[in-house]
Chain A
Amino acid sequence: MSVDSKTVKKIANLARIAMTDAEVEAMVPEFNGILGWVEQLGEVDVTGVEPMTAVIPNTLRLRDDVVTDGDIRDKVLANAPAAEHGFFGVPKVIE
């Protein structure tokens, strides 16, 4: 399967990475090179094989449904580029 610049643009948009047209063009052959290489997996017979979900058998633990942390608002906000009034600041998203 080979991708074109339109597909790369779409993927860049899904990944939320701004790309110039020149960057998109440069990525098309790289993308196709990598995809062409990984597509050899298609030749493996996987009949009856379940996709792996855990490398080491392990059971997901349950814990008591109680609050175990909190009251750390200032710590949570300490690294925010634009914290305001105890919240994360973002550009306006509603008109």
Chain B
Amino acid sequence: MTDITDLGVADIRNGVRAGTFSAREVATAFNEQVAGAKALNAFLIDTPEHALAAADAIDAKRAAGEELPIMAGVPIGMKDLFCTVGVEARAASEILNGFKPTYESTVSQKLWDAGAGMLGKLNMDQFAMGSSNETSAFGNVISPWRRNDGGNAPLAPGGSSGGSSAAIAARLCPAATGTDTGGSIRQPAAFTGISGIKPTYGRCSRWGVIAFASSLDQAGPMARDVRDCAIMLEAMSGFDPKDSTSLDLPVPQWEAGLSSDLKGKRVGIPREYRMDGMNAEIAAIWDQGAEWLRDAGAEIVEVSLPHTRYALPAYYIIAPAEASSNLARYDGVRYGQRNLPDGAGLQDMYAATRAAGFGPEVKRRIMIGTYVLSAGFYDAYYTQAQKVRALIARDFAQVWEHCDVLLAPTAPSAAFGLGENSDDPIAMYLNDVFAVPASLAGLPAMSVPGGLDSMGLPLGLQIIGKPLDEQGVLNAGLAIEERAGFTARPERWW
């Protein structure tokens, strides 16, 4: 029999339903993988007992002849941004040291209700602020991938959902939750040769997800293929009265609706994404992706999104502004760490707690956000950025008159080495240049593996869809997946 840990979500669920193996066998196998992969630093906390308890509940249901839910017996990794009862949730920060939620995030509860179990909490960029997983207070996640040059330079798994991407690529879990504020599902998926989808803003409840930038934050699934993403997105989505921006709409049956036949569909290639100095291998895989979609029956059309180049600077006003407001709650009073210097008053306690508890990138963004929202600068920065954001959204709305989905690269390069990009914040921010526009417009977007570059590292292709058209995005992703035949996987060294 194949190794259980090589199976994805659909195969595990189907195998458990058919009785090919028990959910307990699956959980046990993945628990062992997690325990044996400490060198990757992907998991912050292991919760093998949670995975086993969920598995036993599924095995008991099956024994009783009950119908098994859509993620029955599938153990997953949980990004440390999600609150789960009784398990420390720290957003990979010091300031939430010791915080054990007394409540369950809506998304994680939905996953448990769908039959999934939790293998552990996954490392990430601190408060989801980063593109390489180098801002975690718990050290870097190491990508399981290595360049084929014989050197063993440790590579970034992408970020902020870098623990999720590394764990899936290394077969420590078949799938994991991610969150995407400006590319944090898609870029790490691209770096590690897996798939991930950020749904339309409002599909997944933000309740119980530690907030970064609330008008952008969306949870989504990360897994090894498109079908697995569709299954898990179905489990995670749905209206939640506890989130005021949750969409009160039925959850489509995305798995049942999968079809790679794109006849009659038009795929837009946004010309502004072809930037000066673009990496030749990225340009080549993008062209190849268009060719695959044409082969699937789609018509390829060139389109224009004129305000593309302003998306990243707008994002780096809006996201820090929202972060500075959201992260004001970390005051050393209600949860997490408190630093109380001798003789300090309340204000000194706040300042000392936040100085010790936040990492440098988090402080940088809080400071920028505080500045752009401060008296005298609000209109020049924040209001201007929200106007530009409206123009970026309008660009997309106009483009949907000419095409059904857009195809673009996910990231401007393959995975870079840890430390290679950390001196210059703006160089790091540029990683999300292709990901951020869809975030600003709240659109569904996914990354699927396209192939390997000359260094043997995965490259991702991004599909961006109309509001609420996750199906169109998944279907185009599936068409690429079937033609790319991406089977490469990192050789085990950990």
Q: A residues engaging B (CB < 8 A)?
A: 1, 3, 7-8, 11-19, 27, 30-31, 33-35, 37-42, 44, 46, 49-56, 58, 60-61, 63, 72, 75-76, 78-82, 88, 90-93
Contacts and interface: CB of A to CB of B under 8 A. Distances in A.
Interface of B: 98-103, 200-202, 215, 241, 244-245, 247-248, 307, 310, 313-314, 316-317, 324, 328, 331-338, 340, 344-352, 354-355, 358, 363-364, 366-368, 370-371, 374, 380-381, 383-391, 393, 425-426, 440-442, 467
Q: Considering residues A12, A13, A50, which has the most beta carbons from chain B within 10 angstroms of its beta carbon?
A: A12
Given A37-B426, A88-B334, 4 more contacts: A3-B371, A16-B347, A17-B363, A51-B386
A58 B348 CA distance: 41
Contact of A50 (B348, B381, B387): B387
A44 B395 CA distance: 14
Contacts of A40: 310, 313
B333 A88 contact: yes
Nearest to A74: B102
A51 B354 contact: no
Contacts of A61: 241, 244, 248
Q: 5 shortest A-B CB distances, which residue pairs?
A: A55-B442, A51-B386, A79-B335, A81-B338, A18-B355
A62 to B, nearest CB: 11
A13 B337 CA distance: 19
Contacts of A34: 316, 364, 368, 425-426
A80 B332 CA distance: 8
Contact of A52 (B102, B202, B324, B393): B393
A29 to B, nearest CB: 11
Main secondary structure of the interface of B (DSSP, over half): helix
B349 A90 contact: yes
A62 B283 CA distance: 49
7 contacts: A17-B354, A34-B316, A35-B371, A44-B388, A55-B442, A58-B202, A90-B346
Contacts of B387: 44, 46, 49-52
Q: Name the residue among B100, B384, B385 with the largest chain A CB count within 10 angstroms.
A: B384
A89 B313 CA distance: 41
Contacts of A93: 345-346
Among A16, A78, A88, A90, the most chain B Cβ lie within 10 Å of the Cβ of: A16
Nearest to A40: B313
A41 B391 CA distance: 12
B367 A12 contact: yes
Given A17-B355, A55-B440, A90-B346, A31 B335 contact: no
A50 B131 CA distance: 31
